[in-house]
Amino acid sequence: MTNFSPRAPSLVYQLGYILLSLLGLVFVWLGVLETGDLLSGKKHGIDIFDSLCWTMFFLSLGSGFAFQGVYRVVRIARIEAGKKLFYNQPWYYSRDFSVFTAVINPARHAVYALLTMPGMFGFTGLLCSNWYYAASTPWVQKLVAVVMLLSTSIVLLFNSLKLYCFARHGGAEIELSQIPLTPGSNFIVVARVSSEFSHELDAVIELKCTRIHRINVLTKRWTKTTSVARAELTLAQSKIVDGKYNLIAEMQLPVDAHSEDDTNANDIYRWSLCLTIGPEYELDIPAPVYQVKKPSEVKYNQHLRK
C-alpha cells in the first residue's frame, strides 16, 4: 500500500514531515502578519490588494504544508503500529480495510480543494497587479499571468463542483471478497455510494497499478499508472440497499501482475482502487495486492464468496 515499508527508518520520514509542518506554520505566520498590516491600516491604495493577495497565498500554502505534514506523520505512526499487530501480513499494516471493508472519506480531498483555491487566487492576483501597474512587464510574465488566470478559473470551477458533490454525496464504502488480492485471482468488489446520484450516471471501478522506476543515481524517475482491471456499471441497473447504490463488479488479476512492493527503491509497485461517478466524483484507496507464501494466508469474505 502507498506508504508501506519505507526504505529509510520511519522516524526519518516523520521528522521530515514535522519539518514540513513547521515550514507551513512559518508561512501561516507570514499570512497573519500581512493580515495585521491590513487591519492596522498600514496599507494604502494598490498595496491593500497586494497585501490581500500575499495573505491568501501565505495562508493557503502554509495550511497546505501543515495539513500534509500532520497527516503523513499520523499515517506513518498508524502503519508502524499496524506492523506490530500484523507481523508478516503487510496487507493489514495501514488498517484501511477493517476485515474486508474500507470506508473512503472525502474529507481530505475536500480540504486540499479548499486550500488550493485561495493560494491560486493570491498568486494570480499578484501577477495581474504587477502587469497592470508596472511600467514595463516582460512578455514572459504576461504569459504566465494569462495562464494562471485561466488555470485559476478552471480549478475554481472544478473544485467547486467537487466540493458540492462531496458535500451532497459523502464518501463510499468498499468491500472485497478476499484479503489480500493475489496475482491470478478472481475477486469481487462491492462499492456502496449515496442513492442521491442521478440514475443516468455511470460508475467506474478500477484497479490500478503504479510503477515508479529510478532511471539513474540522480534519483530521476518515471512513473506509469496502468488500469489492470476495470468495470463500468450503470446506476440505473444497480440495486439500492439501505438507501445506497450497491455496485458489484467482478474482476481478475493477471497471473504475472506485480504485487505491492517498495522494498526496491529502483522499482516500486503500488496498487489502488479507484471509484469514479460522473465527471467530478472520484475517490481512491490503496488496494491490498500481495503475493502470499501459503494459500491459507488468504482470507475469504463468506458474504461475497460464490
So what's the pLDDT on residue 67? Answer: 92
pLDDT band at 1 (very low <50, low <70, confident <90, very high): very low
So what's the pLDDT on residue 7? Answer: 46
What is the Cα–Cα distance from 172 to 163, expressed in whole angstroms? Answer: 15
> For residue 219, what is the DSSP state?
-
As a whole number, mean pLDDT of residues 244-264 equals 87
So what's the pLDDT on residue 219? Answer: 57
What is the Cα–Cα distance from 18 to 302, expressed in whole angstroms? Answer: 43
Question: Is the previous residue joined to 288 through a cis bond, with omega within 30 degrees of 0?
Answer: no
Instruction: Please report the sign of the dihedral spanned by the C-alpha atoms of residue 143, residue 48, residue 113, residue 74.
Output: positive
Distant-in-sequence contacts of 40-48, Cβ < 8 A, 24+ apart: 46/129, 46/133
Residue 102, class by beta-carbon neighbours within 10 Å (0-12 exposed, 13-18 middle, 19+ buried)? Answer: buried
What is the Cα–Cα distance from 190 to 251, expressed in whole angstroms? Answer: 11
As a whole number, mean pLDDT of residues 7-17 equals 74
Span 168-182, pLDDT tens digits = 899 999 999 999 999
**What angle is formed at CA 214 by the lines to CA 210 and CA 215, rounded to 5 degrees?**
125
CB of 189 closer than 8 Å to CB of 273: yes
Residue 19, Ramachandran bin (φ over 0: left; ψ between -120 and 50: alpha; else beta): alpha
Cell of 136: 514595463
CA-derived radius of gyration, the chain: 23
As a whole number, mean pLDDT of residues 209-227 equals 76
Low-confidence winner among 94-103, 144-153, 174-183, 295-304 (lowest mean pLDDT): 94-103
pLDDT band at 2 (very low <50, low <70, confident <90, very high): very low
Q: Which helix (H) or strand (E) holds 104?
A: strand 101-104
Cell of 9: 527508518
Averaged pLDDT score across all residues of the chain? 85
Give the three-state DSSP class for 258: coil
CB of 271 closer than 8 Å to CB of 244: no
So what's the pLDDT on residue 14? Answer: 85
- Is residue 116's pLDDT more than 90? no
**Block residue for cell numbers 526504505:** 7
- Is residue 12's pLDDT more than 60? yes
Residue 303, class by beta-carbon neighbours within 10 Å (0-12 exposed, 13-18 middle, 19+ buried)? Answer: exposed
Span 51-90, pLDDT tens digits = 899 999 999 999 999 999 998 898 888 878 877 777 778 8
So what's the pLDDT on residue 4? Answer: 38
What is the Cα–Cα distance from 270 to 120, expressed in whole angstroms? Answer: 30
* Number of CB atoms found within 10 A of residue 137's CB: 14
